[in-house]
Chains A and B, each alone.
Chain A
Amino acid sequence: MIITLHINGKEESVECLPGEMLTEVLRRAGYLEVKKGCDTGNWGSALSFLRGSLFFPVSSYLAIRADGKEVTTIQGVAAKQKNSHSS
């Protein structure tokens, strides 16, 4: 199935399987900064922000649930920081 994600401000339509977690989908879409530190999300290395403020372990978050949502990876955070410093 196809889901639409707003990743770091950019709209992307990506394919995912029903039981697939967001980590795999993001990495397949080229967002390799999303790391899978463990299989449960305990370590927090695969965090992404969803809905602006709450952060989730993308390795334990069903990709299909992110359909239509904003996702911010660590690169998105870095870009925002850079923009805020340069402005």
Chain B
Amino acid sequence: MEIIEYARPRSMDEAFRLIRERHGTAIGGAAWLRTNTKTMALGVDLAGLGLEYIREAGERIEIGAMTTYRELETSQLLKTRFGPLFEATVSHVVGIQLRNIITVGGTVAGRYGFSDLNTTLCALGAKAVFYPGQTVDLADFIEKGAETPFLLEKILLPASMKASYQQMRISENDFPIINTASAWTGSDWRIAVGSRPAATRLCKKAMSLLGDDPYPSDEKIVAAAHAATDELQFGSDIRASASYRRETLHVLIRRALMEVRG
């Protein structure tokens, strides 16, 4: 990618102004910039704004937009609250060297269809906080995007949750063919599916079918997997056909729900 003008703002206010008033493009981890053939008129580098953190904030966990995948993968706080969930979610993403630069914010803002992380975040009911203070449901943002240029500041997670991430890949570090995450919130179930190959969506009918029972029967779990594969749209690409994705997803959803149910 060619960048005509480069800016490194010293504050969130300055970054926001550059994006809103001068139509600047935020630069997160910049992991895919080389393979992008577009021209960026004004690149606004978010490095150095203090957006690299994973911390407790009241009854939530906050993850800064510039936090890297490797930091998610090795965070003791996340491991304590969510078990191996984040490690399972990002450890297949290329290699450690790239996970050292890929950021949470870049992934969420990009709303990539192939994303592993967006699926897990949607299942956890994450919120996205846009500077200077607009909080939106992350699953809604992934589905609809934003109407105006935005500056993603952080992601909010619940303090803890029992959840499972499942995926299928042709080879270890390729993009996923299909992925899913399930979570029990304490009052209901959430199921998200990504890499269809389109972006992550919640399976609302399947979630509704499971209701508020923390220990659904095997039959109910199979019914939820059917409901999820029926309510979503799947596409075909170089990695898999739509029907292969659908059949695989059925198995992955069952595994995820059974793992969370115990």
**Chains A and B are bound partners:** yes
Pairwise interchain contact A18-B6, C-beta atoms closer than 8 A: yes
Tell me whether A9 is interfacial, beta carbon within 8 Å.
no
Q: What 1/0 flags go to A26-68 for Cβ under 8 Å of B?
A: 0000000000000111101001000000111101111011000
Pairwise interchain contact B27-A57, C-beta atoms closer than 8 A: no
Tell me whether B47 is interfacial, beta carbon within 8 Å.
yes
Pairwise interchain contact A19-B2, C-beta atoms closer than 8 A: yes
B54-95 residues at the A interface, CB under 8 angstroms:
94-95
A18-B43, A56-B101, A64-B6 known; A39-B35 Cβ under 8 A: yes
Pairwise interchain contact B43-A60, C-beta atoms closer than 8 A: no
State in angstroms the CA–CA spacing of A60 and B100 once bound together.
Answer: 11
* Closest residue on chain A to residue B39 by CB atoms: A19
A44-B95, A54-B100 known; A19-B3 Cβ under 8 A: yes
Query: CB-CB < 8 A to A40: which residues of B?
Result: 31-32, 34-35, 94, 98
Cβ-defined partner of B101 (8 Å) among A1, A19, A57, A64: A57
Cβ-defined partner of B97 (8 Å) among A18, A19, A39, A56: A56
Tell me whether A25 is interfacial, beta carbon within 8 Å.
no
Q: Nearest Cβ in chain A — how far from B34, in angstroms?
A: 5
Pairwise interchain contact B45-A65, C-beta atoms closer than 8 A: yes
Pairwise interchain contact B35-A57, C-beta atoms closer than 8 A: no
* Closest residue on chain A to residue B68 by CB atoms: A54
Query: CB-CB < 8 A to B47: which residues of A?
Result: 65
A19-B43, A62-B27 known; A42-B98 Cβ under 8 A: yes
Cβ-defined partner of B30 (8 Å) among A17, A54, A62: A62
**Which A positions have Cβ atoms within 8 angstroms of B?**
1, 17-19, 21, 39-42, 44, 47, 54-57, 59-62, 64-65
**Which B positions have Cβ atoms within 8 angstroms of A?**
1-6, 27, 30-35, 40, 43, 45, 47, 94-98, 100-101, 173
Known: A17-B3, A21-B33. 14 other contacts (CB 8 A): A18-B3, A19-B1, A40-B35, A40-B98, A41-B31, A41-B98, A54-B100, A55-B100, A56-B100, A60-B30, A60-B33, A62-B45, A64-B6, A65-B30
